[in-house]
Structure 1
């Protein structure tokens, strides 16, 4: 990790971009980079899709798979995508229930980045024959913000 001071509220030079970086061993160890919003004052939405997200079942230790969709309307900063990828990858060896993992990711991004609005959809593949979808948002959608559907179909199996 870099010794460069990092202020999530104001953004700083990305520490991971252009660097060879291994996955953090846990979400708590993972650091997210935030950079100044190049369009501060404009109302717009950013979407990240992670269709191959994995974490571990806290009971069995077996892998759980999800398609995560993160939407947010930035204010002063935006999250740097490589640091987000490393943060999400840090869950690969993390045990947590679907609800805790999904809501925890959304809350951490919201608390650190302080966007106008954020939502996350966690579309989890079946465990014990039952798919679980988890949704969290920080509050009402800002007036005038275009928010398309997340576009993830309900799980159908072989249909």
Structure 2
């Protein structure tokens, strides 16, 4: 049963990493190449769509890692799992404090009512997101290593 939990948790976190990586390095650069109004609308729609799903995914991943850490405490790799959980906790805190406030504003923007500094806010979100992606990649790597 523990083995199934380990694999399931690693897959859930890995898919989350893939989504967030693609947002950072594929989707947002594509949107950035579109005309200004299209970029704004694309970011707003993405903010609404992913803003509804990602909190559940992040918290769910953290819970799964915590359950793995407790259930596998006496097994090899437990320290890696705990460290991965700590990194996921940092990503959640970072999301709540830095990324969600920008996303909450951005998902309501339209070409008619966008703030003057919307591009600067989007760039700030992107910079924070790059850091968050690095953190969750590290967490995923630790979980994958703990499996071996």
Please confirm whether the aligned pair reaches a TM-score higher than 0.5, indicating the same fold. Answer: no
Greater RCO (Cα-Cα under 8 Å, separation 6 or more): 2
**In terms of Rg, which structure is larger?**
2
| TM bin (shorter chain) | under 0.3
Name the structure with the higher strand share.
Answer: 1
